[in-house]
Structure 1
């Protein structure tokens, strides 16, 4: 790959009005991309109805976007060098905006899936490139604050999606979850072309020098893995031939991708940057952060809707206090980093606080927990995520130099997305499997000769008799109601298990974080790509 002309450290630093505009533009783009990963969740039923799609078909609306995201993220650094960062960023916004319009106008499910895939290709580039643009627009001593500003978008975005989507679906119709991107995308495109600057790059690669096989191996590895994670539980994992085949494709794709990138002169992804100890540890911690962030964002709305009977909008609004807390924490963390507080101590504190949140959720979960019981645990979650995101990001990149920083940022972005995919897949599987196990354990406690069981059945039976059902019909319905109560309780116990396991995972991370080598706490992003 042509050598990058390393610029003076401050050559891309902006001040005053220009920096404010560039920061707002990059944050808007990062928010657009992340909100779109979760906003569709609450609209899936409406999409199914209007497009005549099955449950399996409609799941592809999420899967296609996620696959495109994780394929493009590790390639963003290379693509920026090829086309120029400003041009690549603007083109990505345009692709994202145009396909948002096309998604809203899709006439059938597979049109929508195809447009969502292309939208994901544009959106995946926005995350890492926005992070790079924000970071390098700030002087060296303020780059901790720059990461905090970027982190507000990344952390708050996933929790804004469900309530925003719920409002748009309830008051308008599902295409508006895509149309809302259009005015923001148009404004962001113009601001990017007017204000964002590109670093100076060396000579571009010729078409014959491009790592086409690397792209093929990366796409087969990441794409197959993402499909397996998204569809594994609903297809009963390895009892399904498609899951088996794609798992094999993913493993071989990974092996061939690693081999290709290590031997090719112009690799699409520079794996050698992982020789850096802090980046290796940082990518693992970022994976776990994605696991906890996206996993808990996924599990709470599902629990409140399926067990507590809340609407999609109410379930989404529940997460707002957590998002606000994280947003308020970000500038505080940025200031602490500027004053020399070690990132590893902040990150260790974040993991410990996330354990407290998980244990608290474990303690308050019942089949009829009220919203007031969730408020303080979710505020605690917000504090924990605030302490985790910025320190882990700066730790990962702080001992890298020059062009390696862009590669490192791409790795951390990809691992955060994959962590979320693994988290959702594992949580979905555990809820199903643990729920079955708890149900098996609960049923022997329902002894037909037990006085309390008989009393409960008689109360249910009398309720149905009062509604006009016969004695036999009322008894059958009473047994069904009791069966439903058992299923509900076993599902709650499964969610409780999920939270305690998540908490233990985060607690185990604390000693590992404390062993990380101390970085400078500042990121020299003058030549991040």
Structure 2
């Protein structure tokens, strides 16, 4: 009886089942980061109340995580050279779990922000580490089994996060959100230990890394730049530019830090991020499409959550159920792409189709923004947007990295994940800023239409409160509808650009 051909030629000792389990472990490691971000987004209001933080103070807990994640991605390749990507993953999971426990023990916004920074430093580099391991462990034609498990762990399981978070917050204290995150980190660490091949073991222990050899100038410049830039983008939701124009200076200062960091890296003999490897035309075009997707995704997530709860009055649990349903639809589309991507021809055309789907979803929602709109009315449009994942993310990913060797891939993917954090924050900030201005304008117009003649018998306090709430709801719906309409037009323009560009094909 002849032995079947191994799925991974570089690891012939691994059985087929083991290979699929490794892919699932890679996805679960990535999911630790995604779970932390998704649960924080869904349960943010409850957590903010638990630590008695103002919205401005609570913002630091969001940006400290993202900034620490940027630093983790920056240090990834350098640390993996000493402790391997397997060792980096194990260390990251341990730090992320410890950070989650610290979050659960936090009593105020300062403690929570510091704890989230620890969690972000551990979890922030896991996505890039997992993708680089796939590049190292398998030849291009052998990666599908790994990607199947990776998609299940990073998208399928994470799609459950909104629903689980809503259930958890409604039935327990806010601390349980972080207890669950810590438990997920621990279980994933055990899973990684049991499945990852031994050839990825560390060359030295994490505590043996020579920290004196670290490029601390880059760490400080990029870390500070990320924190200032991300916090400045997030701050846009709390201030109006007309009354506080200085709020724009903060993101600009962050960009200055980034420019100084890359100027330093350009002259470094062994840069952690090699700028020369990041200037290829295919990579820059792919990175642009990446940034556009994450920007729009950050914007979309913020607006949809605001629409469902603030505009349509859905309960926290209903909102979680809707977001999980659309996430599972996106996961199904991603799995279909994993099995059928070889059948797609005319790459630019399919990227354009993805953005046209996005445009159609946004336009349908813009037409359905009215009080009393049911889930049945909204779900088809939301589901259409979730179907865009394989077209405008996975397809771009496969094309962007086509010409990269393993070492260059590590440089590029580090930088890609740094861009992901910034683009997502930028999308959220812009969405919040738009809704602020839009709601003010809509509220002013709605109030102007209310006259004393509408209440000839006068109006009591109860009726006044009801009217005020109705105007606020209508203002949110009008502002959201306008933003969706603008987003639809923008996606059509991006689709046209995708068709005429020649770098990704």
TM range (shorter): 0.7 to 0.9
Where 2:356 maps in the other structure, the secondary structure is helix
The farther-off stretch of 367-376 and 156-165 is 156-165
Question: Partners of 1:406 and 1:483 in 2: how far apart?
Answer: 54
Aligned position for 1:247? 251
Q: Is 2:374 the counterpart of 1:370?
A: yes
Superposed counterparts of 1:398-477, under 5 Å: 398-446=402-450, 448=452, 454=454, 457=455, 474=460, 477=462
Gaps of 5+ in 1: 1-8, 459-470, 521-529
Question: Partners of 1:256 and 1:10 in 2: how far apart?
Answer: 43
Match of 2:338 among 329, 334, 338: 334
Q: Is 2:360 the counterpart of 1:353?
A: no
Q: TM-score, normalised by structure 1?
A: 0.84
Where 1:368 maps in the other structure, the secondary structure is coil
| Pair 481,266 (structure 1): closer, same or farther in 2 beyond 3 Å | same
Q: Is 2:17 the counterpart of 1:17?
A: yes
Give the C-alpha shift of residue 138 in structure 1.
Answer: 4.2
Aligned position for 1:184? 184
Superposed counterparts of 1:120-199, under 5 Å: 120-143=120-143, 146-147=146-147, 150-151=150-151, 153-154=153-154, 160-197=160-197
Say if 1:284 and 1:415, in contact at 8 Å, map to a contact too: no
Question: Partners of 2:311 and 2:15 in 1: how far apart?
Answer: 51
Give the C-alpha shift of residue 410 in structure 1.
Answer: 2.1
Question: Partners of 2:329 and 2:91 in 1: how far apart?
Answer: 34
What's the CA shift string for 1:222-258, capped at 9, x where partnerless?
A: 1110110112221445865984663343132122112
Say if 1:354 and 1:385, in contact at 8 Å, map to a contact too: no
Question: Partners of 1:201 and 1:44 in 2: how far apart?
Answer: 37
Give the C-alpha shift of residue 444 in structure 1.
Answer: 4.1
Question: Partners of 1:417 and 1:285 in 2: how far apart?
Answer: 14
Where 1:327 maps in the other structure, the secondary structure is helix
Where 2:388 maps in the other structure, the secondary structure is helix
Aligned position for 2:477? 492
Aligned position for 2:4? none
Superposed counterparts of 1:507-526, under 5 Å: 507-517=492-502
| Pair 430,45 (structure 1): closer, same or farther in 2 beyond 3 Å | closer
Aligned position for 2:390? 386
Report the count of equivalent residues.
493
Question: Partners of 1:448 and 1:231 in 2: how far apart?
Answer: 39
| Pair 111,447 (structure 1): closer, same or farther in 2 beyond 3 Å | closer
| Pair 92,256 (structure 1): closer, same or farther in 2 beyond 3 Å | same
Give the C-alpha shift of residue 472 in structure 1.
Answer: 5.0
Give the C-alpha shift of residue 268 in structure 1.
Answer: 1.9
The farther-off stretch of 248-257 and 124-133 is 248-257
Where 1:53 maps in the other structure, the secondary structure is coil
Query: Larger Rg: 1 or 2?
Result: 1
CA RMSD of aligned residues (A): 3.0
| Pair 239,120 (structure 1): closer, same or farther in 2 beyond 3 Å | farther
Give the C-alpha shift of residue 218 in structure 1.
Answer: 0.9
Where 2:411 maps in the other structure, the secondary structure is helix
Aligned position for 2:31? 31
What's the CA shift string for 1:274-296, capped at 9, x where partnerless?
A: 22111101111111111222322
Question: Partners of 1:181 and 1:166 in 2: how far apart?
Answer: 14
| Pair 237,69 (structure 1): closer, same or farther in 2 beyond 3 Å | farther
Give the C-alpha shift of residue 270 in structure 1.
Answer: 1.5
The farther-off stretch of 223-232 and 436-445 is 436-445
Q: TM-score, normalised by structure 2?
A: 0.88
| Pair 47,379 (structure 1): closer, same or farther in 2 beyond 3 Å | closer
Gaps of 5+ in 2: 1-7
Give the C-alpha shift of residue 37 in structure 1.
Answer: 0.8
| Pair 61,250 (structure 1): closer, same or farther in 2 beyond 3 Å | closer
| Pair 171,58 (structure 1): closer, same or farther in 2 beyond 3 Å | same
Aligned position for 2:5? none
Say if 2:28 and 2:150, in contact at 8 Å, map to a contact too: no
Give the C-alpha shift of residue 57 in structure 1.
Answer: 2.8
Question: Partners of 1:133 and 1:333 in 2: how far apart?
Answer: 21
Question: Partners of 2:119 and 2:110 in 1: how far apart?
Answer: 14
